Amino acid sequence: MCGIVGYVGSNDAVDFLIAGLSKLEYRGYDSVGLSVFDHETILTRKTKGRVDDLRKVLTSRPLHSATLGIGHTRWATHGEPSDLNSHPHGNFRVSIVHNGIIENYRQIKERMIRKGYSFSSETDTETIAKCLDYYMVQKGEPLKAISKVIEKLEGSYALGILIKDTPDTLYAIRKDSPLLIGLGDHENYIASDMTALLKYTKRYYLLEEGEIAIITKDSVRIVDCEDFLEITKEEHYADWDEESAEKGGYPHFMLKEIHEQPDAFRRTITPRIIRNTISFERDNLDDRTLASIRKFYIVACGTAMHAGMIGKSLIERYARTPCDVVIASEFRYQDPIFQDGDCVLIISQSGETADSLAALRLAKQAGVMTLAIVNVVGSSIAREADFVIQTIGGLEIAVASTKAYYMQLSILYLLAFKLAALHDLLSSQELADLLHDFQHMEDVARDMLNQSGNDQYLASLYQGVKSMFFIGRGLDYGLALESSLKMKEISYIHCEAYPAGELKHGTISLITEDSMVIALASSKAIVEKTISNIKEVKARKATVLLVVRDDVEVAEDAYNQKLTLPSYPDVFMPLIEIIPMQLLAYYMAVLKGNDVDKPRNLAKSVTVE
């Protein structure tokens, strides 16, 4: 969960490294650093804090004439954020930056200590640097030394490497953690993702496991790590533009991405709705394959898992196909019982989520069909899954996911309706009617965004709240989980989410006059049940914000404030309800003065287990 950049060319490496690290700060922002060749000497500058802190270090201790370098912005895993634990790590012979976790670093460290090495940091990364230095001394040849290091490592890694003996060359390797090679004119790059490169190039290679990249300003050579035989790579082209990685006049990426949801929704569903039917042919997913699925394991983490919970309800309700939703980090350890016709559906914004990737690989080893919903085409999950449905939402940079969640939901709606039609559970007219209402959600979403003043007002009322409970039934429970996560991620308010009917089975003991309850009641079919639960907490003197359809009458003594939603069929209410919940969390965080796009202790792409 870190950001890596590297540059080799004729221009100032430091300028690129600082600019690239700024773009990747959403991947980690508790410490930062860089190493460059300065007159054939490796020089390093690093610090606890953010890129702006590194700029201050460079002002007091400048670097000059560097045309080759590596940089890193960190989300701490081993060792607290500090100057010493910041990357890069190394010595006068080697310098490396690392994204991932080395699981056997203690054994390597003990071995290196026996070889006479000492350590100054608490990181697993320093062990890689010392190991590489040792093999450079033993082998005297970079590729052989790197290959020997790879043999020793267990875990995940993406590495950018400088070696003193080759002051014109940048090396890169990866396993599980992402790393791209950007292709320029008389300059080349490495980066954890394309956001760091869009200003400079849109051409890139995908580095695969077992490959070593040898990069100079005029060439990129990729070899296998065993025999060093050259590998021919397919060149890719990024269809994102640099503007998509900018705020576009919004104060935060999160607010921009919330407002991008209607357009992203349209881009995602339009190619897949053809003459009142649904087709996944553009995703190379034919009807016969879909119809053969007898059970889904929906596997995801965090926000993607919450989308999966809504997806489970939709698929079981419309297609009558069983679904289990499993947290990805638990999936491998449950020893799942697979049968013919099972499908493991992986949902991930980045396509690099380590736990989800591990679950996918487990399913593939078991011979089970794998289907992925991802936003990044060239990601590890997208490359390894049997079938991929891409959300067409564009870049999402804010750590707290909003737009990706909306896109994941939109695909899950289409998947549920498609399966229902394939199983003859929806007539052609019923499907056409559903799709008509579904497509109209784009306009409804715009209307909800135009009413953001309501959310600002409510945030101003409740910004001092210390603890919140989100409750709801049915689809509203899934929304409660995601709404609670958004609130706690960026406002740092303690939040919990419960099925409304479960509250009285123990949790209601926590409700006092200091409690805030946000009650989601968008489902007309069960709204009266939810209202009864709301009255239970109101009777305990809790402050209640009721989120309810505008066609439902509720006695005023059942709530303190009410946020009304336009009334549509129950099945589509999650697409309406989530927008004010995202905005409420956003404005609460803004009023508290929090860093909305980079909340504490979090990183965007969780590439470690």
Q: Any idea which residues carry the catalytic annotation?
A: 2, 604
CA distance 518 to 516: 7
Q: Under 8 Å CB-to-CB from 132, ≥6 apart: which residues? A: 90, 94, 96, 145, 146, 149, 161, 163
**Among the listed residues 500, 475, 471, 476, the one whose alpha carbon sits nearest the alpha carbon of residue 416:** 475
The identity of residue 365, as a single letter, is Q
Q: What is the enclosing helix (H) or strand (E) of 314?
A: helix 302-314
Note whether 231 and 214 are within 8 A (CB): no
Residue with tokens 């003996």: 165
Q: Which residues contact 31 (CB under 8 A, 6 or more apart)?
A: 46, 47, 48, 49, 73, 74, 76, 81, 82, 83, 85, 86, 87
First to last CA, the chain: 10
Q: Which residues lie closer than 8 Å to 350 by C-beta, 6 or more apart?
A: 178, 193, 374, 375, 376, 379, 604, 605, 607
C-alpha 354/C-alpha 243 separation (Å) is 29
> Is the separation of the CB atoms in 348 and 300 below 8 Å?
yes
Q: Which residues contact 45 (CB under 8 A, 6 or more apart)?
A: 33, 34, 35, 54, 57, 58, 61, 63
In angstroms, the Cα distances linking 318 to 143, 311, 406, 550 are 56, 11, 20, 26
d(CA 303, CA 323): 18
| Residue 15 CB partners (closer than 8 Å, separation 6+) | none
Select from 442, 451, 448, 441 the least CA-distant residue to 571. 441
Tokens describing residue 582:
């995202």
In sequence order, the β-bridge partners of residue 211 are 224
Helix (H) or strand (E) holding 467: strand 467-472
